[in-house]
Each structure stands twice: as C-alpha cells, then as structure tokens.
Amino acid sequence: MSIRTPVEILAYASDSGLTKARRKFSSILILGFFAGVFVAFAAQGSTMAAHNLLANPDAIGLGKVLTGMVFAIGLMMVILTGADMFTGSTVIITSVLDRRVTVGQMLLNWLLVYICNLAGGIFIAWMMSKSGLFATSGGLLGAMTIKIAAGKTALPFHAAFILGVMCNWLVCVAILVSYSSPEGVAKILAIFFIISLFAMSGFEHSVANMYYIPAGILAKQNPGWVSMSQVSAEQLAGLNWVSFAVKNLIPVTLGNIIGGTVMVWALFWFALKKK
C-alpha cells in the first residue's frame, strides 16, 4: 500500500481544492446536496443507535461512544463518493495560498455548498418527521431528538464557536490523513477513528446541525415527545428556526471555518510549503 509523504499530501490537498473550486454549478448543487444528506443519515443513525443509552444517566458515556462510531459513516460516504461538504471545502484555502484559486472563487464555492448541505439536512429531517420513526421506543427517539436540538440552540455564542473550532480541526485532520493513501480501506480507517473522536466529544459540526436542529424543531410539534424530553420551558422556547440560525449555525460555522482553514490547512501549508 502506497503512502504519500506530508509534502505530497499538501500537493494533493491543493489539487483537491482546485477541483472543488472549478466544479460546474450543477455538480456543486448535486454533490453539496448529497453531502448534506449523507451527514444527516449518519446523524439520525447515531441518534437511533444510542438514544436509549443517552437517556440513561449511567450509560451516557457508552452512548456517546456508540454515537461517534455510527456518525463516522457520514464522512466515509462523503469522502469516498466525492461529495462536497462545507467543512471539508475549507481545503480550498491551500489552493488560494498556492495562488491557483482566488478568495472570491473560494467564498462562492463555500456559499453554494453550504446552501446545498442545508437543503440536504433539512430534507432528511423532514423525511424522518414523516416516517414515523421518531415514535421508536415509545417516542423516546423523538424526545431525544428534541433534547439534542434544544441543547445546541441553548449554547452561549462563545461556547458554540469554540466547539465549532475543535470540531473542524478534527474533521480536517481526518480528511488530511485520508489523503495519505489512495486505498479505500486506509481512508475508511483514517476517517473512522478521528471522526468518532470528534462526535463522541460533543463538538459542534455545522453540517450535522443542519439535520439535528431542524429534526428537533419538527419533533417538537408532538406534545408527548416534548414531555418525555424533560427539556426546560426556556430551552424549548429557544428551539426555533431563528435560534437555529443565530444561536447555533452562525457561531458554529465561524468556528468550523477557523478550525479548518487556520488550525489545519493554513498551518500545514506554512509548515511545509511556504518559503
């Protein structure tokens, strides 16, 4: 199995960023939507797998481990299919530093991918709300979906920002390590362990939250699940579309940008390439 050197990884990252920035409009829309859907599937699957454990105070740690293991499947699908995930698209900064892509091209790509990721996440949240699956375990899955979403919209701005930085720091390290080998199995192993670490740690991922919070808002319409969630009236009132954008997506997205562009790709570039 061939392994790329760190310098070769950086060159591959720059090529990857160039490819993303030069995609035709229709490809960005489709691949961005796919990434939002893949991450949403992983998010709902991780909640489904661990909701009973997360509801038990004595088993929360085990529940978080299981959540992390299942959630990692989302990034595997994104990387191996070539889908465009906003947090991963921060790799384009390497192409900007190499003067192969302009800042404007990078920002336009980020905006389009972000919107399409959001569409994919909300679409799967809507489908879950119509599927009847939130009634699993007597409605406990719906209750846990509400509890997770309410906790995210109740975060202080600075906490959401910092959790966003740490999240994409690990996500982009996972992507960087996956670039070390062209072999699919090696990529899967690289992604699995690092993404599991981020997910079980409770860090904030903007694309994942594009499913988690809309799903909670939709599940909130069921009074029985709301009662089972044991969420305070204040947190429940704060679980809405405005707080989704203002109190979570904005700070988490800013944190994700710093975690990816600065803490991984730019520093990696300055360490290995800048003369």
Query: Which tens digits make up the pLDDT trace of 39-60?
Result: 999 999 999 999 999 999 889 9
Q: Is residue 275 domain-resident?
A: no
Query: Is 275 exposed, middle or buried, given 0-12, 13-18 or 19+ CB atoms closer than 10 A?
Result: exposed
Q: Name the domain count of the chain.
A: 1
pLDDT of residue 273: 81
pLDDT of residue 275: 57
CB atoms within 10 A of CB 223: 8
Instruction: Tell me the pLDDT tens digit for each residue of 216-237.
Output: 999 999 999 999 999 999 999 9
Asked whether residue 2 carries a pLDDT value surpassing 80, the answer given is no
Q: Is residue 42 domain-resident?
A: yes
Asked whether residue 24 carries a pLDDT value surpassing 90, the answer given is yes
pLDDT of residue 177: 94
CB atoms within 10 A of CB 23: 18
Q: Residue 227 is part of a domain; what is its CATH number?
A: 1.20.1080.10
Q: Tell me the C-alpha distance between 126 and 215, whole Å.
A: 7
Q: Is residue 1 domain-resident?
A: no
Share of the chain above pLDDT 90, in %: 93
Q: Is residue 274 domain-resident?
A: no
Q: Which two tokens stand for residue 97?
A: 């530093």
Q: Is residue 129 domain-resident?
A: yes
Q: Is residue 107 domain-resident?
A: yes
Q: Is residue 22 domain-resident?
A: yes
Q: Which two tokens stand for residue 3?
A: 């392994």
Q: Is residue 87 domain-resident?
A: yes
Range of the structural domain that residue 196 is part of: 6-269
